[in-house]
């Protein structure tokens, strides 16, 4: 993991080292021939961690990203950066890029998936669509979801899928990166997810406070980072 992180940390994006370790540990548990699907790759920061772990165990990664235009994600120049980063990490034979929306890639997808990482578009509807990928998980496979408890869209989709529809079971988290498996949640599983809501409220309050420069609120919540919580 240390060598993988040294490589990934040069890549721009949104992934802490502790979150990278969680991805690494889950991917290293896979067996030869396994398939990882990543939704939302940006410049390849998380893809590099997943790809190096996959390379070590003989697995493959499918990275899905339409490289949306705009100041936030950078469009086609980000695709060029992604491809350069994957090549620099020696992962061209491990990582397959599908440069399209996850919803489009899901149409006609017919391969079993051993690990799913979701970090694409963060609105409620897209996250619900992205959770449709869990239909292809092999029994016991994990789904990791970034920004699970700092985004209104992601969190509301998770509440819907776990608490209302009972399709996923929340297992644990590293900061906002949460781990789920496909199982009907028990009452205790549901309470574990609901128990994260105060922390979610803190995180969205910080995001709002940052936008209106409410320094006393940020101090009171103990947030001293120049970034939104993730």
Ligand X SMILES: C[S@@+](CC[C@H](N)C(=O)[O-])C[C@H]1O[C@@H](n2cnc3c(N)ncnc32)[C@H](O)[C@@H]1O
CB 123 → ligand X: shortest distance, Å?
A: 9
CB 109 → ligand X: shortest distance, Å?
A: 13
* Interacting residues of 170 by C-beta distance below 8 A, sequence separation 6+: 158, 162, 178, 179, 180, 185, 189, 192, 193, 196
Task: Indicate if the alpha-carbon torsion angle 181, 185, 189, 192 is positive or negative.
Answer: positive
Closer by beta carbon to ligand X, 46 or else 161: 46
Tokens, residue 229: 């919580």
Closer by beta carbon to ligand X, 15 or else 209: 15
Closer by beta carbon to ligand X, 126 or else 176: 126
- Residue whose C-beta lies closest to ligand X: 13
CB 111 → ligand X: shortest distance, Å?
A: 17
CB 112 → ligand X: shortest distance, Å?
A: 20
Closest by CA position to 38, among listed 62, 14, 13, 54: 62
Q: Collect contacts of 71-76 with beta carbons under 8 A, ≥24 apart.
A: 73/42
- Applying CB under 6 A, the residues found at the interface with ligand X are 13-15, 39-42, 45-46, 64-68, 73, 101-103, 119-121, 126
Closer by beta carbon to ligand X, 28 or else 192: 28
CB 44 → ligand X: shortest distance, Å?
A: 7
Distance CA 19, CA 43 (A): 17
Q: Are 147 and 153 in contact (CB under 8 A)?
A: no
Closer by beta carbon to ligand X, 15 or else 159: 15
Main-chain dihedrals φ then ψ at residue 98, nearest 5 degrees: -110, 100
Distance CA 53, CA 228 (A): 28
């Amino acid at each position: 993991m240390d060598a993988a992180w040294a490589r990934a940390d040069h890549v721009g994006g949104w992934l802490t080292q502790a979150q990278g370790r969680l991805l690494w540990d889950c991917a290293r548990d896979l067996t030869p021939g396994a398939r990882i699907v990543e939704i939302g790759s940006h410049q390849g920061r998380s893809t590099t961690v997943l790809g190096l772990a996959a390379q070590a165990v003989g697995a493959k990664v499918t990275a899905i990203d339409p490289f949306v235009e705009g100041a936030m994600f950078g469009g086609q120049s980000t695709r060029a950066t992604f491809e350069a980063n994957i090549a620099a990490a020696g992962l061209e034979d491990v990582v397959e890029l599908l440069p399209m929306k996850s919803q489009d890639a899901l149409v006609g997808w017919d391969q079993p998936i051993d690990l799913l990482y979701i970090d694409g578009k963060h609105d409620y509807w897209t996250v619900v669509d992205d959770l449709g990928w869990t239909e292809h998980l092999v029994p016991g496979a994990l789904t990791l979801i970034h920004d699970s408890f700092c985004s209104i869209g992601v969190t509301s989709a998770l509440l819907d899928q776990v608490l209302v529809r009972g399709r996923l079971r929340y297992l644990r988290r590293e900061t906002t990166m949460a781990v789920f498996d496909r199982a009907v949640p028990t009452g205790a599983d549901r309470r574990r997810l609901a128990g994260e809501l105060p922390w979610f409220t803190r995180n969205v309050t910080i995001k709002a406070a940052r936008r209106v420069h409410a320094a006393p609120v940020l101090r009171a919540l103990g947030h001293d980072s120049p970034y939104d919580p993730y």
